[in-house]
Chain A
């Protein structure tokens, strides 16, 4: 059954009966407590990922690697980050692989890629909560979309370092609200994680800049919460 499913996967394309792959779906679940079987499954999936199988087949493999992928999958997935057709699905898997190799692969590709694939990688690094050092210079990237994305990512990471990076930045006029919103994200995260002092400093820094009304009200509210806590 599983063998038949892998045979079908080689030519799997939009319009194929999806049920031909059910045995692979099932194996991805049932191998949880059988590391050898899971490694074998991963290896067979990677074989298809690195073949000339149709886009849909490789899309399917990435979806499975999201669930079972390990450090062994990282090199093949990293290679796909530069592929406009499959970059997103490579991230779909990489973003959820807990081993640090997955994050390092994203960091390596961040330096090489351009918008829009670069934005995808920025977003995945943020999900993993890493890359502040690499994201910081992107706040002043000539490509406004990249600078915007880096600000959102730092807001999502929400660490003290991320907050400082945003606070030190001088955004283009069109990005003022995005940067301020990201700083608010940082402040809220800092407050939640027991860094009230840093949260307060972030709110105060925002207020000093004479921000738009929505931001001012949000920062004032946040500041009050810090003081109450």
Chain B
């Protein structure tokens, strides 16, 4: 109840407060001719004072897509944009202003300034992965609900911390993989509906891990805050490929490089493993053992994740397709209703619905973390080329000092988690 109350306080600002907060007071006289009726709450639309006030942090490739989803929602009043590239944030501000026929959207280089605004209810975050935990925990600390793009973490340790902050401050924090439900619904329905009998295992296919980046220095473009882009990551000289946000994981985007991403095993893994854990119903668990298989005569190793309930998820098992399920059809399994999005349609609609209702979203941060931690565990097994045991409660590799070195990374000063 207390979360509900707090949240209502946060977004149900009066019209007067709304005008004050958006700096419109002095221009109020011009409003009737500039603002369409829909923005004033007529014609069935939600009035600005009743809308969820949203800001966006990291607005490039995927962030740009999320931006469109939030800006296009009648339930949202988009009020602030943040990106370390001036051309990107200025472009997004212009889009917001055009959408509302105003000049009220404020553009920030530093996410902390945006999060310090008390009039913002929720933020969406689509920075590179090395920033997620810092931004999400700070947003929770500032009382914001958060929609964070996948992969939600860069290291194992960041996951529990993000959950801790979400719960501590009673925040709605959603992960960002829309594919978990939208791409794999058919497989999920078959598994949960009992058609396959007792599900035993499922296979996931993703490609390469991220790797070191050693690209040559290039001049930093004007208006690009390179130090802020790097943030907690090790210092490195600017190179356009190092920080490009395209979806490739092969040497020409930040998704390719270890300091900023786990590579395809986390980037696509967040989707595929998310769908797989959903299908075989282990979303709320983490594996207890990761078996590294290096079959003779094969040029590629594969992994087997074993869950406490005996369910197995394999990664790149030879001869198995992506999302291929093994089951025992002779054993019956009672059908269970499949959870889905609340609200209107999309994963963003689900998040916005939950911001109002204070329910956990479909991709609640705890479920998202369980998926991305699975990806990290796989990465560590591949890097060490051996099997691992994992204590999910303690978040450690028991008795394995070498593997425990990989649970986190030192952040570059002054950034601290």
Contacts and interface: CB of A to CB of B under 8 A. Distances in A.
Contact of A14 (B169, B214, B414, B417): B214
Q: Which residue among B164, B168, B408, B412 has the maximum number of chain A CB atoms within 10 Å of its CB?
A: B168
Contacts of B414: 115-116, 119-120, 145, 149
Contacts of A185: 164
Contact of A153 (B168, B385, B416): B416
A218 B402 contact: no
Interface string A196-229: 0000000000000000011001101110000000
A184 B167 CA distance: 12
Contact of A188 (B6, B164, B410): B164
Interface in A112-131: 115-117, 119-120, 122-124, 126-127
A152 interface: yes
B29 interface: no
Contacts of B211: 18
B413 A117 contact: yes
B234 interface: yes
A91 interface: yes
B401 interface: yes
A107 B393 CA distance: 30
B412 to A, nearest CB: 5
Interface size class of B (residues with CB under 8 A): 35 or more
A152 B406 CA distance: 22
Given A145-B414, A181-B141, A59 B234 contact: yes
A72 interface: no
How would you classify the secondary structure of chain B's contact residues: helix, strand, loop or mixed? Answer: loop
Contacts of B404: 98
Contacts of A96: 405, 410
Contacts of A176: none
B216 interface: yes
Contacts of B2: 217, 220-221
A18 B214 contact: yes
Contacts of A120: 410, 412-414
Nearest to A113: B413
B356 interface: no
B408 A127 contact: yes
B211 to A, nearest CB: 7
B143 A214 contact: yes
A59 B410 CA distance: 13
Interface residues of A, number: 52
A91 B410 contact: yes
Contacts of A218: 168-170
A184 B168 contact: yes
A67 B125 CA distance: 31
B236 interface: yes
A89 B235 CA distance: 9
A181 B417 CA distance: 12
Interface in A25-42: 29-30, 32
Contacts of B237: 14
24 contacts: A14-B215, A14-B216, A16-B214, A17-B214, A18-B211, A29-B383, A30-B385, A32-B386, A66-B405, A66-B409, A67-B406, A88-B234, A88-B410, A88-B413, A92-B234, A115-B414, A116-B414, A123-B416, A127-B408, A145-B414, A177-B141, A214-B169, A217-B170, A218-B168
Interface of B: 2-3, 6, 141, 143, 164, 168-170, 211-217, 234-237, 383-386, 401-402, 404-406, 408-414, 416-417
Interface of A: 12, 14-18, 29-30, 32, 56, 59-60, 63, 66-67, 85, 87-89, 91-92, 94-96, 98, 115-117, 119-120, 122-124, 126-127, 145, 149, 152-153, 156, 177, 181, 184-185, 188, 213-214, 217-218, 220-222
